[in-house]
Structure 1
Amino acid sequence: MVMEKSDKTPMYQYIMNDIKRKIETGELKPHDPLPTQIDMAKEYNTSEITSRRALSDLVQEGYIYRIRGKGSFVNENVSAPAGQAIRTIYFAHKNNEVSTFNHPFFTDMFQGIKEVCEENGIEFYLWNFGENYELPEDPHAGIILLTTNHSFDISHLTAWQEENRRIVTVHFYYPHLGIPYVIVDNLTGGYLATQHLISLGHRSIGVILTGNSIMELNQEFSLRLQGYRLALSQHQIPFDQDLIAVMEGEDERGDMGYRGFKKLMSLDTPPTAIFATSDFKAIGAMNAARDMGVRIPEDVSIMGYDDVEISELTYPRLSTVNQNTHKLGQRAAEILLFELKDQEKGSVRDEIVPTVIVRDTTAAIKQRKTSRK
């Protein structure tokens, strides 16, 4: 049954009212797809601009949600008061340097968040909660939270939970608190990087990590090391702690890779391949190789991690791991907007699988000479 249109009712409002009626009467059920804005314009004999506005306003009122590349769908709970709906998403952090956000880990993530927000009429901002841990005053805002192991006071997470803040964490996660999270699967990333080198015939693979010691690695580097060890184990390659170079520091720098490379190559039997657990360290290792007269990839293969823009411009071009943080950003926003249920927040989680990017710094192993000058 089609609703009759009053001459005084704007067309976009007529479309909205008709779809609301279909939802409220059960003709359209939760998660049912809606026509595209093109098909809707044809169905109601109107323009795409009008149908787009109708869909956008339906999102704002909480009747439907959108998923990029898939379409518009009926919300599961359309009876929730409109005032409770998320209208703004903040990416919240503690005093991060602005320059940090130029890293593709963040720029790609922000683009993913922004796309989901734009499709659903949601505002998106960065928010520095600072030393006072002050979140936006809007209690219904969605918070995509970035924490760090060395400076974040975890007690504030519990306080925010008690305030019923709508939070999803990225990068780091806290399983014991049951807070929804989306992370890059660093264990799988470390595994894939190492597996790539093993597939080229390498059995002696060094690793350059960031931390105070092998026992004091942050969450991401610890998981990448676990992935490295898992790949070795599956190929019956013994784990050799001498092949692990841990460089002190909090921020990734080229000199870490430079020093790590020299340390590994000074071993009596140097590795034939090195997995530097960031592109910055990998590029530093490449600089050290050049200064030492070590050819890449003829004498040693080097694998990075992050796929920063410059990695495709190095000579030779750096093989690396792309963390797929564009997808991470999309999923974080989608979880906040469409998947959170107060009674089961802890069950909402996702892990994004990285992708190996093969370029020129990795190659099949060549027979090494018995002596090295």
Structure 2
Amino acid sequence: MGVSKDERFVPLYQIICNELKDKIVSGELQPNTPLPQQSELAKMYNTSEITSRRALMELVKEELIYRVKGKGTFVAERTGPSSDSGRAGQMHNVYFVHPRTNMQVFNHRFFSDMLSGIHRFCDENDIDFCTWDLGPDMALPADENAGYIILTHLPQAQEIPMHKLSQWKAEKRKMVTVHFYYPHLRLPYVISDNLTGGYLSTQHLLALGHQRIGIILTGKSQLELNQEFSLRLQGYKLALSQHRIELDPQLVVTMDGNQENEEMGYEGFRQLAAMDNPPTAIFATSDMKAIGAMRAARDLGWDIPGQMSLIGYDNLIVSSFLSPALTTIDQNASMLGYRAAEIVLFDYPDAHHDLVKDEIVPKLVVRGSTAGPGD
């Protein structure tokens, strides 16, 4: 398709957007008609898929089209006249909602990467983004057209109660939960795949030849673990079962605490090392606990990885500079945040569509703290 001289200073994505909008408003494209895929649009206009995707995103924001995951993009039912400035109700703000806490918690790699991912998506789509401290009254902003990415749990903070989530859903707030999920409420969610992370960690140690693998968890007991540590434990058990290794309950150590710290790992290592038949490897389930375990090993005269392999979880910045550098799991939290923002802006389900959910697969980062038994 050609571009006129009058259009040569208009961004190409806007030209594509305007032409599709004209066809929708004129009735040439009827409601629920499928649109060409972004790859097909790119070929039609001799441009990149980035440009065609931007054009489709603009039409989604104006509520002229809607997306169905796995099926495509369709013309929306028209509820009123369109205008060049977009429809009333267009989203301009996305809030990252959290319970009141010490803000230094967001310096943790997982949270800072997640916030960066949300911001990147919002910036690409001209949406304002900020954090929102719920405060003691647990109140959302008075912004009916905003999107909300909600983190219900934080260390040393009051958990957002489920009745508040139910209330906000009844108010038709567009919200996505991250890191934790509530299937009975049918709220869209994005989480890190902690089961796969636990599996990858344990499988790595098994592949190196370890058979006795300890695990250090965070919780009051094995029956009182939160979602993330419960799933990491499930991944650990799954890897053992696939190698037909019977679970030894003595190798599962649970440390109580409100948030991850080195002392948990220090004490957990001491407990495992004191066994008559100690493990040859430990999955610490967080980098903070792994750092504490390293210190305990040094104090007790154990060599890592010569006498004990050690793997963490989180890929903190400091982990690559430890001695030895720590093998760990990177949760890909930036993609988690990016995907959450994408759902709240473009893939939000209506009452007739299935629950939208996504699990971001983590990746194993192999460094110097793991080796074969006796290597």
TM-score bracket for this pair, using the shorter chain length: 0.7 to 0.9
Match of 1:234?
242
TM-score using structure 2 length: 0.84
Match of 1:331?
339
Does the Cα contact within 8 Å between 1:2 and 1:18 map onto a contact in 2?
no
* 1:270 alignment partner, SS class: coil
- Alignment of 1:102 with 2:107, yes or no, is yes
Does the Cα contact within 8 Å between 2:29 and 2:75 map onto a contact in 1?
no
The alpha-carbon deviation at position 97 of structure 1 amounts to 1.9
* 2:237 alignment partner, SS class: helix
Most deviating of 258-267 and 83-92: 83-92
Q: Distance in 2 between matches of 1:191 and 1:255?
A: 25
Correspondence list, 1:171-320, <5 A: 171-320=179-328
The share of aligned pairs that are identical, in percent, is 49
Match of 1:61?
62
Structure 1 unpaired stretches of 5+: 42-50, 67-72, 368-373
Does the Cα contact within 8 Å between 1:93 and 1:145 map onto a contact in 2?
yes
- Alignment of 1:148 with 2:162, yes or no, is no
Matched residues, number: 352
The alpha-carbon deviation at position 223 of structure 1 amounts to 0.8
The alpha-carbon deviation at position 62 of structure 1 amounts to 4.3
Most deviating of 10-19 and 355-364: 10-19
Does the Cα contact within 8 Å between 1:180 and 1:345 map onto a contact in 2?
no
Query: Can you list the C-alpha shifts for 1:24-60, whole angstroms capped at 9, x where unaligned?
Result: 4339943632449x9669xxxxxxxxx9998886565
Match of 2:93 among 75, 81, 88: 88
The structure-2 alpha-carbon separation of the partners of 1:8 and 1:290, relative to structure 1 and needing over 3 Å to count, comes to closer
Query: Can you list the C-alpha shifts for 1:198-223, whole angstroms capped at 9, x where unaligned?
Result: 11111100111111111111111111
TM-score using structure 1 length: 0.85
The alpha-carbon deviation at position 4 of structure 1 amounts to 8.1
Does the Cα contact within 8 Å between 1:23 and 1:29 map onto a contact in 2?
no
Does the Cα contact within 8 Å between 2:24 and 2:75 map onto a contact in 1?
no
Structure 2 unpaired stretches of 5+: 81-86
Letter in 2 for 1:83: A
Query: Can you list the C-alpha shifts for 1:313-355, whole angstroms capped at 9, x where unaligned?
Result: 1010000001111111111011111111221465100111111
What is the alpha-carbon root mean square deviation over aligned residues? 3.2
Does the Cα contact within 8 Å between 1:56 and 1:121 map onto a contact in 2?
no
Does the Cα contact within 8 Å between 1:59 and 1:121 map onto a contact in 2?
no
Letter in 1 for 2:107: N
Letter in 1 for 2:35: P
The alpha-carbon deviation at position 245 of structure 1 amounts to 1.3
Letter in 1 for 2:96: F
The alpha-carbon deviation at position 87 of structure 1 amounts to 1.6
Match of 1:354 among 352, 355, 362: 362
Q: Distance in 2 between matches of 1:54 and 1:219?
A: 39
